Homo-oligomer: A and B are copies of this chain.
């Protein structure tokens, strides 16, 4: 069955297509009796407006594009939840793409979203994105972009982040104040800003508390959120050092990997080694021992990014100038049994 068209309705009522179109849009030069007849017939024939055609006229698609590194990750699925819900509130649909932490794919996906004429783009960068020309190229075309979580400080656009450096600083300072002295850091890969900032926060906390920074105590977890990275590096760390008394990790999932290795080797948490994670994943409260962590407000980040993006789209449509915002969402420490 083909969808009902304006022509079908016009044919049934024996009036012109233009009159049907005007009646459906509520124009004042169509009599109210004609309007009623058209609406009744449209309903009867199950007419649905062709929004693709509408788009051509208004130049709007009411669609937002999102590029995230991966959807199977509790934090990003929370962000997506926030994005989809906020978009819905404003009548926007969301196209979701995954870069799989791959720069080439991220570049292609930006072009694809542009071809799809999305009204705006939300992006969290892949780990191996080395430069930002692809982002700037889109911004130059007056397509608004809001970056969240994994952002590029140098790109001029709105951003929604947490203060990763401060959050890490607070977590490591807490460990030091509890009396831990040889604190290792399981960091993310070298490139992403969040990984750099969390590392810098760790190092600053040590130095500010008079503990010398030892680069040998920093282990790299290339996948950021990989349980196995935590597990394998824990093994390596214990072979190389017998004096570690605490570990601060880039994510909770990495910490859970360490936790598993320590338990298998009868190392007591937090008596022998304390653990402090990042992101306050809901499982962190359930595992034994429960994991201390930094809260990372994924849902709020998704909502806020989308809100800013839609405001920018509105400004562009109305020709009103606007300024880029950087919104820093608050975090806090959740202290549980692992520290």
Contacts A95-B63, A117-B50; A288 near B286 (Cβ below 8 A): no
Stretch at the interface among A19-27, A68-76, A152-160, A194-202: A68-76
Interface size class of chain A, counting residues whose CB lies under 8 Å from the partner chain: 35 or more
Contacts of A260 in B (CB 8 A): 286
Considering the complex, give the chain B residue whose CB is closest to the CB of A140.
B1
A129 within 8 A of partner (CB): no
Partner of A49 from B1, B49, B94, B115 at Cβ < 8 Å = B115
Interface bits A77-112 vs B (CB < 8 Å: 1, else 0): 110110011001000011111100000000000011
Q: In the assembled complex, which residues on chain B have CB atoms less than 8 Å from the CB atom of A2? A: 142
Copy number in the complex reads 2
Instruction: Select one of B1, B96, B116 contacting A141, CB under 8 A.
Output: B1
Q: State whether A256 touches B71 (Cβ < 8 A).
A: no
Q: Is the Cβ of B81 less than 8 Å from the Cβ of A71? A: yes
Contact of A116 among B51, B77, B137, B227 (CB under 8 A): B51
Q: How far is the CA of A52 from the CA of B85 in the complex (A)?
A: 25
Residues of B within 8 A of A77 (CB): 71-73, 77
Note all chain B residues with C-beta closer than 8 A to A51.
115-117
A335 CB–B CB distance under 8 Å? no
Query: When A71-B77, A72-B77, A288-B287 are in contact, do A52 and B117 touch as well, CB less than 8 Å?
Result: yes
Does A233 touch B at the CB level, under 8 Å?
Answer: no
* A114 on the B face (CB < 8 A): yes
C-alpha gap A52/B112 in the complex (Å): 12
| Closest B residue to A64 using CB positions | B95
- With contacts A52-B61, A227-B282, A256-B286 known, is A93 near B112, CB below 8 A? yes
Closest B residue by C-beta to A59: B52
Most chain B beta-carbon neighbours within 10 Å: one of A46, A74, A77, A78: A77
> B3–A141 contact, CB under 8 A?
yes
User: Inside 8 A of A112's CB, which chain B residues have their CB?
Assistant: 93
**Is B93 a contact partner of A95 (Cβ separation < 8 A)?**
yes
A62 CB to nearest chain B CB (Å): 9
Taking a contact as CB atoms closer than 8 A, the residue among B3, B72, B256 that contacts A78 in the complex is: B72
Contacts of A137 in B (CB 8 A): 46
- Complex alpha-carbon distance, A139 and B205, angstroms: 60
Most chain B Cβ neighbours within 10 Å, of A61, A78, A97: A97
The 8 closest A-B pairs by CB, nearest first: A77-B77, A51-B115, A72-B77, A72-B81, A288-B288, A93-B95, A71-B80, A96-B96
**Pairs A–B under 8 Å by Cβ, sample size 8:** A46-B137, A48-B114, A52-B55, A63-B95, A71-B81, A72-B74, A74-B74, A283-B283
